[in-house]
């Protein structure tokens, strides 16, 4: 499954987020795959597409960052998958 993970950096914590990532890596358990990410210009939010078997499994990863980041997790599908699901309804 794909998930859009919206990270809301806690105020003033962006440098610590990047420090931890530099020093320890993504801290994702086996079976969680990073796809892509974007960060806003103010270092307030990061949008990440991640792949995992379940949201519960993904929460094992976010637990490593919850002291610095608040997470919003949204299950998503690709545009191609969405078009395939909608095709019979058109």
Domain count, the chain: 1
Contact at 8 Å (CB) between 32 and 61? yes
- The proportion of the chain whose per-residue pLDDT surpasses 70, expressed as a percent, equals 100
What confidence score (pLDDT) does residue 34 get? 97
The whole-chain average pLDDT of the chain stands at: 97
DSSP string, 35-66: EEEEE-TTSSEEEEEEE-S-HHHHHHHHTTTT
What confidence score (pLDDT) does residue 80 get? 97
What confidence score (pLDDT) does residue 4 get? 98
Number of H-type helices and E-type strands within the chain: 3, 4
Calculate mean pLDDT across residues 22-34: 96
What confidence score (pLDDT) does residue 70 get? 98
Domain that holds residue 47: 2-89
Whether the model pTM is above 0.85 = yes
Q: How far apart are CA 36 and CA 23, in angstroms?
A: 20
* CATH assignment of the domain containing 28: 3.30.70.1060
Q: How far apart are CA 15 and CA 9, in angstroms?
A: 10
What confidence score (pLDDT) does residue 51 get? 97
């Amino acid at each position: 499954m794909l998930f859009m993970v919206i990270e809301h950096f806690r105020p003033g914590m962006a440098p610590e987020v990047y420090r931890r990532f530099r020093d320890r890596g993504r801290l994702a358990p086996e079976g969680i795959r990073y796809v892509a990410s974007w960060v806003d210009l103010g270092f307030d939010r990061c949008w990440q597409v991640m792949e995992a078997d379940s949201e519960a499994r993904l929460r094992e990863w976010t637990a490593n960052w919850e002291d610095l980041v608040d997470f919003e997790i949204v299950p998503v599908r690709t545009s191609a998958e969405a078009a395939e699901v909608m095709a019979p309804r058109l």
